[in-house]
């Protein structure tokens, strides 16, 4: 897929490009980002160059990973990185995806992350045919959970020993978002469990 640009009231979301490497590098020096995400630590300039270059380009090219940088309309400042991972898209499409994100430290608390995340989810539901969006975070990551809830995710529980992070298995919080949660239709009927 060719990279696309999305817009919200305050943000422009576009694919991360090599020219964004310095901003990504600076943002990822915040120890909270590698503490809670899969971002390498220490985060090097080469990590930033890879993330904004081949990792981003290859993900769009093979329809497996769509990396967006969210930039302010006024000033063009990087405020959030949002990634959409397609699940099962190559072998057996199941119309599911996973949303991940991190926010630039100085930009947190301004509502940029839920604004950007909601727009990426809307795009995934409307244009990619995604029917279920998943969210995961290390148990204890209250900031990420608060953002997921603001986007509209329904918390589903804790998965024991789900993710390996820095060489240890960790419990993981999980949630889901359906098109209907954003008032959108879905192609496959959904019959929720009545109990």
The side-by-side arrangement of strands in the sheet containing 65-72 is 6-7, 11-15, 65-72, 78-87, 96-103, 132-138, 168-177, 154-165
CB proximity list for 167: less than 8 A, separation 6 or greater: none
For the full predicted model, state whether its pTM sits above 0.85: yes
Range of the domain at 18: 6-182
In a domain, 189, yes or no: no
In a domain, 94, yes or no: yes
Q: Is residue 87 predicted with pLDDT exceeding 90?
A: no
Give the separation between CA 32 and CA 26, rounded to whole angstroms: 13
Number of domains composing the chain: 1
Compute the average pLDDT of residues 13-27: 97
CB proximity list for 73: less than 8 A, separation 6 or greater: 7, 10, 11, 12
In a domain, 72, yes or no: yes
Per-residue confidence (pLDDT) for residue 94, from 0 to 100: 73
In a domain, 118, yes or no: yes
Compute the average pLDDT of residues 31-42: 91
CB proximity list for 60: less than 8 A, separation 6 or greater: 1, 2, 3, 15, 66, 67
In a domain, 114, yes or no: yes
Q: What is the CATH number of the domain that holds 51?
A: 3.40.630.30
Compute the average pLDDT of residues 18-24: 97
DSSP 60: H
DSSP 31: T
Q: How far apart are the first and last CA of the chain?
A: 41
Per-residue confidence (pLDDT) for residue 121, from 0 to 100: 98
In a domain, 188, yes or no: no
- Joined together, the tokens standing for residue 88 give 């099962």
In a domain, 40, yes or no: yes
pLDDT tens-digit profile of 157-189?
999 999 888 889 999 999 999 999 999 998 888
pLDDT tens-digit profile of 95-138?
899 999 999 999 999 999 999 999 999 999 999 999 999 999 99
In a domain, 195, yes or no: no
């Amino acid at each position: 897929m060719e990279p696309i640009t999305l817009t919200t009231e305050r943000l422009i979301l576009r694919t991360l490009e090599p020219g964004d490497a310095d901003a990504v590098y600076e943002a990822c020096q915040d120890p909270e980002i590698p503490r809670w995400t899969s971002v390498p630590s220490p985060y090097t300039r080469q990590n930033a160059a890879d993330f904004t270059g081949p990792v981003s380009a290859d993900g769009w090219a093979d329809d497996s990973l769509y990396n967006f940088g969210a930039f302010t309309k006024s000033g063009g400042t990087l405020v959030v990185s949002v990634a959409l991972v397609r699940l099962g898209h190559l072998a057996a499409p199941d119309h599911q995806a996973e949303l991940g994100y991190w926010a630039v430290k100085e930009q947190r608390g301004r509502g940029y992350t839920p604004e950007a995340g909601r727009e990426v989810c809307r795009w995934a539901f409307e244009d990619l045919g995604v029917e279920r969006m998943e969210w995961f975070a290390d148990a204890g990551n209250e900031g990420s959970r608060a953002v997921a809830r603001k986007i509209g995710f329904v918390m589903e529980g804790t998965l024991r020993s789900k993710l390996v992070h820095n060489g240890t298995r960790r419990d993981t919080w999980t949630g889901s978002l359906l098109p209907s949660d954003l008032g959108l239709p879905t192609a496959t009927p959904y019959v929720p469990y009545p109990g």
